[in-house]
Homo-oligomer: A and B are copies of this chain.
């Protein structure tokens, strides 16, 4: 008999369990996979170095994940961004500095005007309850694509905005509620914050890879984390819960379900969840991204004055970054295929994908890009226990109909995951704040006076 069972050993669940443990509770974490970390994942690239195949960056406003990283002794280092960036558009690649390529001045102007308009609208978004935003209902009836077609005036400007949406959310603007796009701009502290490296979401990385945080959190919890234990069924009553995994079942006073809403569907609840909660779980689908990492003996692009960062308005990849370890050895480029591009690549073989990505890297960074010594890919849509990244998003109608259900406790059931965060929704930072919020709720429910919120 545990006090609280936590379902899911991603960042949100592990942080939640840590706080419950600190408060003196008996806690048990059940994880479906044979590893912890959820949507963070390190892969070895030789000589003890790793590269991140999942969530990896952290921005200066991400105080929650930075605090937890410091707690477990994981340092950050700046993303390598020095040098000129590349912008590939309409069949031509050019170099630029700063945040937005300047080659298409009219397009950039169109983009900047739209950005100002979006950020003005985003200031009105109620982050806690976006559905209560003035005009929310109206804003939630259209897709981001519809808004762009109506309010942007150049094809190149729209392509820049489409690229931003894909880069930020791993969705196509055509599948995204315009209200969700505004919410995302608000939760991220502005569009610049979302897309920038210096001063933005991509500013820093974690030494030893982002998964190191989850690995250390799990180490501290020891055998209270059970791997390869998918939860199939949760019975919940007013006085407690019974959580069934394949091998065993566990009684507890409460359960924190620390998986994204779309994975709630993998668990049977007895009694069934309310209709709003059932339906929410089908209304916040995950994005679609495949991350590719090409490893080289050294980051050869740096010598050529390039930062390794490229953005492209055509597929099959939309952006690259220098993803080398802190000392630049070995060199690594990470490339993102997003939305439709990622789906199209899934129709190729692994070899076909590698060829398509390396060909593009050669076009961008020259012939040496062909000579990768290691090539990694991770399509999160293929993963049984993730089914898509970066995070869940709402299509039209989602926020107004289901937003209020996102983190509403139901008796002895509490909800974590980055999708339930208010600030930095969908990020590692959001995962942490959501886990801590759920821990507070569970503590109150089992009668422990919650410690002061850090």
Contacts and interface: CB of A to CB of B under 8 A. Distances in A.
A31 to B, nearest CB: 14
A353 to B, nearest CB: 12
Nearest to A230: B268
Interface in A302-346: 340, 342-343, 346
Interface in A153-170: none
A285 B288 contact: no
Contacts of A265: 262-263, 265-266, 282, 387
Given A141-B143, A146-B142, A285-B279, A172 B397 contact: yes
Contacts of A188: none
A286 B275 contact: no
Contact of A278 (B142, B145, B283, B388): B388
A387 B279 contact: yes
A141 B174 contact: yes
Contact of A272 (B276, B340, B383): B383
Contacts of A232: 232
Contacts of A145: 141-142, 396
Given A172-B397, A174-B397, A175-B395, A272 B146 contact: no
A34 to B, nearest CB: 13
A288 B275 contact: yes
Contacts of A342: 275
Contacts of A346: 274-276
Contacts of A276: 343, 346, 381
Contact of A286 (B230, B282, B379): B282
Contacts of A288: 275, 279
A401 interface: yes
Of A274, A381, A398, A400, most B-chain CB atoms within 10 Å: A381
22 contacts: A137-B174, A141-B145, A141-B174, A145-B396, A172-B397, A175-B395, A175-B396, A175-B401, A230-B268, A232-B232, A263-B265, A265-B266, A266-B268, A272-B384, A274-B346, A274-B382, A275-B381, A275-B388, A278-B388, A279-B343, A282-B282, A395-B395
Given A266-B268, A278-B382, 5 more contacts: A140-B174, A279-B343, A279-B387, A282-B388, A395-B396
